[in-house]
């Protein structure tokens, strides 16, 4: 398994990896939003890789874990505008056939190394505290993330937003 920048050839596999969790972790509208985000990121560098930049500053990146031509998982990050060295994970998904095989952890290690090299300070991610996201929450907690805030009724009435965060600069 390799972790690489998403390329145009990975687009459909990455979207299908997110879609595989539609109705489970992602709402269907999030699948189409993921496609739009991936396509936009790929356009930003004329297909050279999924990096969003502003001048010399990298604002976001999308990685994929691949085995041959098959996308096993994807994980991206976006810089938080106005926040010093803070990033939000985006579109974290591992194909159901590849879960519990270290794919998510390998993706996280690649993101973590990249963000530390950029002087990253804080990483956070969004999920729900409801039982349907027990797996993702356990994964984030196993990496050292802590639930730091709950926003009531964010995803839908009765489905709150749980914000998990981790300091990566030793602070």
* Average pLDDT, integer, range 89-95: 92
- pLDDT digits over 31-85, tens only? 889 898 888 878 755 445 545 555 445 578 899 999 999 999 999 999 988 889 9
Q: What share of the chain is helix, strand, coil (3-state, %, to 5)?
A: 35, 40, 25
Strand 86-94 and strand 122-127: the pairing is parallel
Alpha-carbon distance of 61 to 95, in angstroms, equals 19
Angle at 168 between CA 57 and CA 134, to 5 degrees: 110
Where do the domains of the chain lie, and which CATH numbers do they carry?
Answer: 2-121 (3.40.630.30)
Is the whole model's pTM more than 0.95, yes or no? no
pLDDT computed for residue 157 by the predictor = 95
Q: Which of 1-5, 44-48, 120-124, 157-161 has the lowest mean pLDDT?
A: 44-48
Phi, psi of 81 (to 5 degrees): -60, 130
List b or e across 18-28, with b for residues whose CB sees 16 or more CB atoms inside 10 angstroms: bbbbeeebbee
pLDDT band at 145 (very low <50, low <70, confident <90, very high): very high
pLDDT computed for residue 58 by the predictor = 58
* Average pLDDT, integer, range 115-133: 93
Whether pLDDT at 99 is above 70: yes
């Amino acid at each position: 398994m390799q972790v690489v920048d998403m390329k145009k050839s990975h687009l459909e596999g990455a979207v299908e990896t997110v879609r595989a969790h539609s109705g489970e972790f992602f709402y269907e509208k999030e699948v189409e939003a993921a496609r739009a985000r991936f396509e936009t990121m790929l356009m930003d560098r004329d297909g050279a890789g999924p990096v969003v930049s502003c001048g010399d500053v990298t604002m976001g990146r999308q990685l994929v874990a691949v085995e041959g031509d098959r996308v096993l998982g994807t994980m991206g990050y976006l810089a938080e505008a106005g926040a010093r060295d803070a990033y939000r994970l985006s579109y974290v998904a591992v194909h159901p056939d590849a879960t519990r095989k270290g794919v998510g952890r390998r993706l996280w290690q690649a993101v973590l190394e990249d963000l530390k090299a950029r002087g990253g300070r804080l990483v956070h991610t969004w999920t729900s505290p409801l039982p349907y996201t027990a797996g993702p929450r356990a994964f984030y907690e196993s990496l050292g993330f802590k639930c730091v805030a709950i926003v009531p009724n964010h995803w839908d009435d009765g489905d709150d937003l749980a914000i998990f965060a981790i300091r990566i600069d030793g602070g």
